């Protein structure tokens, strides 16, 4: 079990310590024992749009695959995340951590499983790890770009300004315009550009984690 190819991960880029991901089972639940036997390769799309391949026993429960992804990322706060994939009806569903993977992903060669945020905490101060905040930011960035996060223009501009602060640092008009020209966070971004920069100017001194 593990990655077929070793690559730098978001965790390693942030200098996160190595650890094993925490269990995402409810208290008192136990997964079935991990069986040995024939392996299957599952492609996982990460929140930074990279893909990693994991080999797991076919009859292993979903938790084995999820834990492998968390371990790969050195992710401690795994409870906020999950794995989703299109089933045989083309409906996107969550991977059940207790059921055998092979009974859920029938044709793994033709399926890409996505590692995504399952829910956001009501209070961001509950988060303990910078890596978790980084992954949340990637999810928000994706949701904005794909129109899945519905908000008014002011809220969208504020969210984008925090992303820009985390990516390029303090406000600089020339750098801001260049960055926004190269990175489209929402479909109608041009109309929001001045408002984004106005908000970004107010974030001077914020670290990426604070943003």
Tens of pLDDT, residues 174-183:
999 999 999 9
The pLDDT tens digits of the residues spanning 145-164 come to 888 887 888 999 999 999 99
Average pLDDT score over residue span 103-111 = 92
The whole-number pLDDT of residue 3 equals: 42
**Least confidently predicted of 18-22, 77-81, 138-142, 148-152:** 18-22
pLDDT of 77 = 95
- Residues 21-25 have a mean pLDDT of 43
Q: Tell me: pLDDT of 94 over 80.
A: yes
Q: Which CATH number, 2.60.40.4070, 1.20.80.10, 1.20.1270.10, 2.40.50.140, labels domain 124-201?
A: 1.20.80.10
Percent of the chain with pLDDT strictly greater than 90: 51
What is the CATH number assigned to the segment(s) 2-117? Answer: 3.10.20.90
Q: What is the DSSP string of the chain?
A: -EESS----HHHHHTPPP-PPPP-SPTT--PPPPP-S-EEEEEEE-TTS-EEEEEEETTSBHHHHHHHHHHHHT-S-GGGEEEEEE-TTS-EEEPPSSSBGGGT-S-GGG-EEEEEE----SSGGG---HHHHHHHHHHHHHHHHTT-S---HHHHHHHHHHHHHHHH-S--HHHHHHHHHH--SSTTGGGGHHHHHHHHHTTTT--TTT-
State yes or no: pLDDT of 123 exceeds 60.
Answer: yes
**Domains 2-117 and 124-201 are alike in CATH topology:** no
Least confident of 124-128, 150-154, 186-190: 124-128
Chain segment 24-79, per-residue pLDDT in tens = 444 455 555 555 678 999 999 999 999 999 999 989 999 999 999 999 999 999 99
Domain boundaries, the chain: 2-117, 124-201
Percent of the chain with pLDDT over 70: 81
């Amino acid at each position: 079990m593990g990655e077929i190819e070793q690559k730098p991960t978001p965790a390693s880029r942030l200098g996160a310590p190595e650890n094993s991901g925490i269990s995402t089972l409810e208290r008192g639940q136990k997964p079935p024992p991990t069986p040995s036997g024939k392996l299957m390769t599952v492609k996982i799309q990460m929140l930074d749009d990279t893909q990693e391949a994991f080999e797991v026993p076919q009859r292993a429960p979903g938790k084995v695959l999820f834990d492998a992804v968390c371990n790969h990322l050195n992710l401690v706060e795994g409870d906020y995340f999950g794995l989703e994939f299109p089933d045989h009806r083309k409906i996107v569903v969550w991977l059940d951590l207790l059921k055998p993977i092979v009974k859920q992903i029938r044709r793994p060669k033709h399926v890409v499983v996505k590692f995504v945020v399952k829910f956001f905490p009501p209070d961001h101060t509950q988060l303990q790890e910078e890596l978790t905040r980084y992954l949340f930011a990637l999810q928000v960035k994706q949701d904005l770009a794909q129109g899945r996060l519905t908000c008014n223009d002011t809220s969208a501009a504020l969210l984008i300004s925090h992303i820009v602060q985390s990516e390029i640092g303090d406000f600089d008009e020339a750098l801001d315009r260049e960055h926004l020209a190269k990175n489209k966070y929402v479909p109608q971004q041009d109309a929001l550009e001045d408002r984004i920069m106005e908000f970004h100017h107010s974030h001077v001194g914020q670290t990426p984690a604070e943003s």
